[in-house]
Structure 1
């Protein structure tokens, strides 16, 4: 059983470990290995500290706490792109769970809490982006009520272009 709470500055190192380990586990064979090999907890924590302390930050960060401290992290906020349809749309920017704990409901618990907070903030729907080749994440989000809406965008990782698909759900 996990407990979800707002992330604090003291959680940055743990969240960076979760995020980097999550990338290494989730994106092996999808994102170029050179990109993954260049990731470090120290660099991620430095970037996260800058971002976390930014006075104009509009995102919400939540951590899932287990017996060993933070075991998952989700970041959400206002949608960063135009999404057709009525109502205000929020966005899940990132969701990572310690790789050795995936499949235990932690990600779903974080997502449900983020949805509740977005709904409380007045958002009527949520959007997110998933790499086209990340079938596991697509399945996870589909099980949570998300559907691909046909939008796609490309990102470049170490010279390799990868396509992300946008998913949406009603809150």
Structure 2
């Protein structure tokens, strides 16, 4: 991801939240999300230049950004563990079911494995059955850890998923 991609990534992220979390989070919160504000946050994160964080974008044949994934080191109580974490993965709602998310996840898994991480962990809303099935089909399993998460006063707990990486092949060119 480059600074020029931030507007497209923000559009994917905000539209992804509004679609994926409809009925799971307060609608007023989802309606209040701003593509412009999110794009500015993406630019700030990129400017900070954390070398351990990888942002991947997926583009359609016309060069429009249709998906985004971000991964980096896993921290437990602010201590690096040697594992990796998938921080985010979003696909534009018009592209869901077309393999974009699978391609981004496959690339993140491969890159984390190539970087020597033993596991890839992620957090997903407990009630997000569609996302949980997506991760389970990709070999991730809930490990029993749960975290409270609150949005506008509404509890939307998260569960942690994990996947061993030792058996993953090296990454293939796919996303930048």
TM over 0.5: yes
1:60 and 2:54 are equivalent in the alignment:
yes
What's the offset of the Cα at 1:57? 5.2
What's the offset of the Cα at 1:132? 0.6
1:78 to 73, 76, 99: 73
Question: How far apart are the structure 1 equivalents of 2:82 and 2:45?
Answer: 24
| TM-score normalised by structure 1 residue count | 0.90
Q: 106-115 or 62-71: which moved more?
A: 62-71
Correspondence 1:9-88 to 2 at 5 A: 9-56=3-50, 58-68=52-62, 69-81=64-76, 88=82
| TM-score normalised by structure 2 residue count | 0.88
4+ long deviations beyond 2 Å: 55-58
Question: How far apart are the structure 1 equivalents of 2:109 and 2:50?
Answer: 22
Question: How far apart are the structure 2 equivalents of 1:80 and 1:102?
Answer: 30
1:106-146 Cα deviation digits (max 9, x unpaired): 10100111111111111011000000110000000000000
1:131–1:162 Cα contact (<8 Å) kept: yes
Structure 1 residues 112, 154: closer, same or farther in 2, change over 3 A? same
2:138 counterpart residue number: 144
1:51–1:57 Cα contact (<8 Å) kept: no
What's the offset of the Cα at 1:88? 2.9
2:170 counterpart residue number: none
Q: Give unpaired runs (5+ residues) of structure 2.
A: 166-176
1:4 counterpart residue number: none
